[in-house]
Amino acid sequence: MTKEREQWKKEYLEERPKFLAEWKEKGTVYAEGENDHADVFISDGIADPDKWFSQEIRPLFILKEAYGGEEDWDEIEWFITGGHKQGKIKNKTWKCIADWAAYIMTHKKWVWTDGGLRSSEYIGTPNDLPKDEWGNQYLNNIALINIKKYGGQPRSSDADLKKHAETHFEDIYRQIEMMRPTHIICGHTAWLLDIVWKKKFGKSIREERNSTWVYNVPNLTPHVKLLDYWHPSSTRCTINGAYLSIDYLFDEKVSEYNESENNENKDAE
């Protein structure tokens, strides 16, 4: 790990507990009705900081909300690292995330060929657990952020999520910034990041839409690309469709294609 990345890790480890404590202290405001679990704060973040800051590819998944529990808990410890959940992953959301993470982390060099973007080089850290079991190496290579960290529900309210994005836009941006991701995979949350960026910088990430669903994210270092995809629990979310979209995410020619597509759209107006 380079000295710069060591510094990133040091800053993250020092700042995360204070940052989350401050977010919890701020509380939250619900746009719709009452919530029985409004006082339950669910933490999130990087699965394994040592691995994460050593990786060339650092995939950050941004979801809507977690839910459950009568007391505060940490989604990273409970789900991703296998501290509480063990055995086969049965939940569709986490099965998809583990599968996508495996697809991302088993590519070392994404090379454009006549047949498309291809690579067969493996960069994951092998262990004895397959990708469909809790605590597998691929889940330990990712990071996770939920837009809403208080009192989540099985069925999300767009009004509540919007209120959280508007209220905590500084917190959401800061949490992403301190993680130093290279790629962001949104589970039907790109519209919420648009709110965050619009409030903080005056311009949304998806200012100009495109057909690849891949966008460059401004105001982050190092350079970050974002995939605007379905939530992993959605019936519209398919394995093959996700693989194609992830290929787009890592295809350097996509930015050129999106720019030409936007120019064509402007000419047609």
Residue appearing with tokens 């379905």: 230
**Length of the chain in residues, anyone?**
269
- The residues, ordered by sequence, that sit 6+ positions from 97 with a Cβ below 8 Å of its Cβ are 61, 139, 142, 232
Full-model pTM: 0.86
Task: Yes or no: say if 227 and 249 are a contact pair by the CB < 8 Å rule.
Answer: yes
Asked if residue 37 has pLDDT above 70, the reply is: no
- The residues, ordered by sequence, that sit 6+ positions from 44 with a Cβ below 8 Å of its Cβ are 66, 74, 75, 76, 144, 145, 146, 149
Distance CA 169, CA 65 (A): 15
- pLDDT digits over 87-135, tens only? 888 888 888 898 888 888 876 555 545 554 445 444 444 444 578 888 8
DSSP letter (8 states) at residue 141? G
φ, ψ of residue 246 in degrees (nearest 5): -65, -35
Asked if residue 253 has pLDDT above 80, the reply is: no
What percentage of the chain has pLDDT greater than the value 70? 77
Asked if residue 265 has pLDDT above 80, the reply is: no
pLDDT at 99: 87
Give me the mean pLDDT over the 186-191 stretch: 96
What percentage of the chain has pLDDT greater than the value 90? 43
Task: Yes or no: say if 243 and 227 are a contact pair by the CB < 8 Å rule.
Answer: no
Higher pLDDT among residues 190 and 91, named by residue: 190
- Domain containing 178 equals 3-268
- 3-state percent helix, strand, coil for the chain, nearest multiple of 5: 40, 15, 40
Domain count across the chain: 1
Give me the mean pLDDT over the 73-90 stretch: 81
